[in-house]
Structure 1
Amino acid sequence: MSVNIRKRDGYAASMPAEILAADDDEDIREMIDVSLSEEFDVETVKDGREAWEYLEESPDSLPKAVILDVMMPEMDGFSVLDHIRENDGMQDIQVIMLTSRSREEDIVRALEAGADDFLAKPFNKSELYGRVQQTLQ
């Protein structure tokens, strides 16, 4: 199944982007950090609640993209995505959803909720890097 990726205007390609990644799996957080930190400023958190708190506390320095695991304790990725899309000051944040469940209905739900892309686990470093680059164009 192919997925269309939505792009928003306003990203300055010459500026380093900040990426916020939320996943309850420490190995996944480490892989995201290693995969992206050479080119991007990456911050990782362990659940959706921490991701939302980070965003709320940083209104003047929001990340360009947020990577959210669908299934997390405290607050799942869909709830964080809903909060982001409901907040007028966060409309330009690109959101990539991660899940170990690659069922078509999960992909559709993520995209209908306003995600810009969807990546199924397991994924490799180059796939993640490519998706982030594509989403930020």
Structure 2
Amino acid sequence: MTRTVLIADDEPNIVVSLEFLLKREGHRVLVARDGAEALAMIRAERPSLVLLDAMMPGLSGFDLCETIRSDPDLSGIRIVMLTARSREADQARAMGAGADAFVAKPFSTRDLAGRIRELLA
């Protein structure tokens, strides 16, 4: 079953590797480069899962996560927060904002693919 996954990240190298991984897994992939673009795509496309960079221009990933969770129409979307900030406080903030999972950069694509499979099962 093909699922739509949105990559919301402003780092081109990460977007390329995530896009390759997700397409290889059989997903339809959308890409947003900042928080505002991501929110517009989420509302228009209703992806099954969002890979969300915590630190993006404009609307941060933390703020975007809270916005998604506060909208009943979007509440079923799975959110994986990706961040280079891997302190415990950052993880607590991501989970407090409503993320389903927290993945620190750099990450293992194999581990991330497994986590995505779990969340979409």
Question: Structure 1 length as normaliser, TM-score?
Answer: 0.84
Query: Residue type of the partner of 1:20?
Result: L
Structure 2 alignment gaps of length 5 or more? none
Deviation at 1:127, TM superposition (A): 1.7
CA offsets, 1:10-43, max 9 Å, x none? xxxxx21110011110001111101111211111
* Aligned mates of 1:41, 1:62 — CA distance in 2: 12
The 5-angstrom pairing of residues 1-137 of structure 1 reads 15-38=1-24, 39-56=26-43, 58=44, 61-137=45-121
Deviation at 1:66, TM superposition (A): 0.6
CA offsets, 1:52-76, max 9 Å, x none? 01122x1xx4100011000011111
Query: Residue type of the partner of 1:27?
Result: N
Structure 1 alignment gaps of length 5 or more? 1-14
Query: Residue type of the partner of 2:88?
Result: E
* Aligned mates of 1:136, 1:109 — CA distance in 2: 23
SS in 2 for 1:123: coil
Over the aligned positions, Cα root-mean-square deviation in angstroms equals 1.0
CA offsets, 1:85-113, max 9 Å, x none? 11110010000000001101111111111
* Aligned mates of 1:86, 1:99 — CA distance in 2: 22
Show structure 1 runs of 4+ deviating over 6 A. Answer: none
Larger RCO (CA under 8 A, 6+ residues apart)? 1
Question: Structure 2 length as normaliser, TM-score?
Answer: 0.94
- Conserved 8 A contact 2:63-2:97: no
How many residue pairs align between the two structures? Answer: 120
* Aligned mates of 1:102, 1:115 — CA distance in 2: 14
* Aligned mates of 1:131, 1:48 — CA distance in 2: 23
